[in-house]
Amino acid sequence: MSALEANLRILKAHYPDLALLLEGEEKPFEGEGWSGSRGDIRIETASSGLPVMSVCGIRLHSSRDPVREAERLAASLDEGEGPIVICGLALAYTAEACFRRFPHRPLVIAERHITVLKAALENRDLGELLLNARLLFVPGGSGEGVLNALSLLEKKGGGKALILKNQALCRLNEAWYSGIEAGVRSFSVREDVNMATLRRFGKRWIRNLSRNMNAIRDLPGVSRLEGILSPAQGLPVLLAAAGPGLDRIAPLLPAMARRCLVVAVDTSLRFCLKNGVEPDFAVAVDPQYWNARHLDRAFSPRTMLIAESAVYPPVLAGLKEGNFRGGLLCASLFPLGNYIEERVDPKGELGAGGSVATTAWDFCRLLGACEIRIAGLDLSFPGLKTHFRGAAFEELAQSRSGRLSPGETWSVKALREGQPFLAPASDGGRVLTDRRLSLYASWFENRFRLFPEIKNYSLGTGGIAIAGLETQEPGAILDLPERRKEIHGLLEDAYRRINREFFGETAPQRAEAWEKALKSLLRGLESLTETASDAAAMTENTLSRLEAQGLSSRERESILSRLDTINRRIAESDVKEVAGFLFPPSAELEKELAACDAPERMPKDPFRHHLAFSGAMYSALSAAAAYNLRQLRKFS
């Protein structure tokens, strides 16, 4: 059996779609770079006797020892759990080296040309690599499959994705591979952003949730509105984001509201009210104080507030004051809220891409919208503007403006803080954006790909270019028929149904389930705090004994057995994820351990390192569980 036959047999069993693609007709790639012509590929022999590939006369491997070269490349990667993206397969030496060095890490192979894939299968037995259950292929196309693959792997857990490139092959197809590399780096940087956000706001989220815990019992979820806009109705939705482009629709907003169901983000709510429109929904999910200020003096009794249970508490207090028609919760983004919701009343998930606009778009999708017109989704700084005129942040800057610190200083700071750069604009030019805003744009692009049946239109030009977002002049909405009466009737029917189902006979049972869940949560956190604290003390005492007098093999085995028992108890805890939310990553604990011990005192004993690491882990877990416990007792 030839190498190709053996490899294809495995592919047919594990990657049938790829096998069909390889057995199909080979077509040159039309576009920038090398076309992938089979005639340009040559297989030669290295000094080590192994085959090496050249394309257009350019060798893709070492002409002496391609295996050793690949091993050096794999050794250059940091240790971790995240996927490794191989850009350019060539003859798969690098992919094999990564698999041997990191057998636990997923491999994503991005190869532009089927001809290269087929040449690798013809000339090398890749059975060991192809049988790897953590292997994914992205062959040709636009390369967007890499982001889909990373999204799939992200759901299964893991760390940041790393990239290894076959430099020679990537230079032949620079635009394609550069696009993949940029996408992977944007995807991976989210982990850094999320970790930085957690460090900065993690305890704030816990405090907010503890104060808002009653809302999980008292407010229905957005799932009760799912699909109320049927495709047959064809009701258009207007989403008011908060970018500078929002100013363009101000004169037309009342006429738009007569034709569209209106969803506003918290930042744009006062803009809508100022221009004579009470949105049907306002979305608020940010837990920070300054975001809560967007709703100051926002009296909108026809608007339903859509919130997440970790919002700054005064946001939900506004419901009791009658500032809104009522409130609905989306599923909590945090384990503490999830714990109670799962046992009391699941609320319905909404996508979260870091910006309230991402959650608002996903709410429109949940409603069943077929067409979403979006105003103010610039995700950039057109004309060096950060928000629409009169935004709360702009008013704050002006109110604090002085001779030595004018309002323009605040604007410049906002423009420079997020690592700004120029990106393609929707009008074909270039526009200033930053790393954070570009991540939001990537989220929208991915969401638009996942739901191609939804038509998305940007009302205006000049913002960052987003694939899947078409441009439409604001005035085009006026060609639509007026449907405000129909929208009111639809929403009133939905609210009557929610009142009947949620606030009727099930309310007492829900209150009882809430009390039971809260007591269970408190007991679990008490137990976990005590277990982790005792374990930390035990490891500390054992380390002292180890350094003072040493431990026998039997004593070491006994201690490891006790640690295993403790770890099982922690793993079986119902509240481990609640406490683990504030738990630092393993790499951070390792750094702290290294900083505590002088290099000359660093022991080479793996047992001691295991004890020290376990002690740090138990101490961090005990502190995290205790913090949750204090906050819940304070406000429950």
Residue among 276, 261, 274 at smallest CA distance from 306: 261
Summarised one tens digit per residue, pLDDT across range 381-416 is 888 787 777 665 555 555 556 666 665 565 666 666
pLDDT at 155 over 80: no
Position 150 scores a pLDDT of: 79
Position 599 scores a pLDDT of: 44
pLDDT band at 174 (very low <50, low <70, confident <90, very high): confident
* Torsion sign, CA atoms 54, 58, 61, 65: positive
Q: Residue with structure tokens 């009791």?
A: 320
Position 428 scores a pLDDT of: 87
pLDDT at 528 over 90: yes
Position 484 scores a pLDDT of: 96
Position 368 scores a pLDDT of: 96
What the block records as the tokens of 150 is 């990373």
Position 392 scores a pLDDT of: 58
Residue among 406, 442, 398, 447 at smallest CA distance from 423: 442
Q: What is the three-state SS of 434-451?
A: EHHHHHHHHHHHHHHHHC
> Per residue in 48-87, is it b (16+ CB within 10 Å) or e — as a string?
eebbbbbbeeebbbbeebbbebbbebbeebeebebbbbbb
CB atoms within 10 A of CB 98: 24
User: What is the third-level CATH fold of 217-502?
Assistant: sialyltransferase cstii, chain A (3.90.1480)
pLDDT at 204 over 80: yes
Mean pLDDT across the stretch 136-141?
Answer: 86
User: Quick check: 70 and 94 in contact, CB under 8 A?
Assistant: yes
Alpha carbon dihedral 351, 357, 360, 362, in 10-degree steps, equals -40
Mean pLDDT across the stretch 140-163?
Answer: 74
Residue among 273, 466, 452 at smallest CA distance from 378: 466
Summarised one tens digit per residue, pLDDT across range 125-137 is 999 999 988 899 9
Alpha carbon dihedral 259, 264, 268, 271, in 10-degree steps, equals 30
Query: What is the spatial distance between Cα 558 and Cα 547, in angstroms, rounded to a whole number?
Result: 17
Residue among 161, 205, 536, 510 at smallest CA distance from 352: 205
pLDDT at 451 over 60: yes
Position 191 scores a pLDDT of: 54
Question: What is the DSSP pairing of strand 84-87 with strand 58-59?
Answer: unpaired
pLDDT band at 453 (very low <50, low <70, confident <90, very high): very high
Summarised one tens digit per residue, pLDDT across range 341-386 is 999 999 999 987 778 999 999 999 999 999 999 999 999 888 878 7
Element housing 515 (H / E): helix 507-549
What the block records as the tokens of 89 is 């397969």
Query: What is the spatial distance between Cα 435 and Cα 452, in angstroms, rounded to a whole number?
Result: 26
pLDDT band at 235 (very low <50, low <70, confident <90, very high): very high
pLDDT at 83 over 70: yes
Summarised one tens digit per residue, pLDDT across range 304-332 is 999 999 999 999 988 888 899 999 999 99
3-state helix, strand, coil in the chain (%, to 5): 55, 15, 30
Mean pLDDT across the stretch 431-445?
Answer: 84
Mean pLDDT across the stretch 149-165?
Answer: 75
Q: Which residue has the higher pLDDT, 503 or 280?
A: 280
Query: What is the spatial distance between Cα 593 and Cα 312, in angstroms, rounded to a whole number?
Result: 36
Q: How far is CA 87 from CA 44, 164, 196, 233, 445, in A?
A: 22, 6, 29, 46, 22
Position 605 scores a pLDDT of: 74
Summarised one tens digit per residue, pLDDT across range 3-31 is 999 999 999 998 898 888 888 877 777 66
Question: Which amino acid is residue 261, in one-letter code?
Answer: L
pTM over 0.75: no
Position 378 scores a pLDDT of: 92
Position 411 scores a pLDDT of: 60
Residue among 385, 389, 382 at smallest CA distance from 414: 385
User: Quick check: 556 and 607 in contact, CB under 8 A?
Assistant: yes
pLDDT band at 602 (very low <50, low <70, confident <90, very high): very low
Query: What is the spatial distance between Cα 415 and Cα 367, in angstroms, rounded to a whole number?
Result: 35
pLDDT at 583 over 60: yes
Mean pLDDT across the stretch 507-514?
Answer: 93
pLDDT at 611 over 50: yes
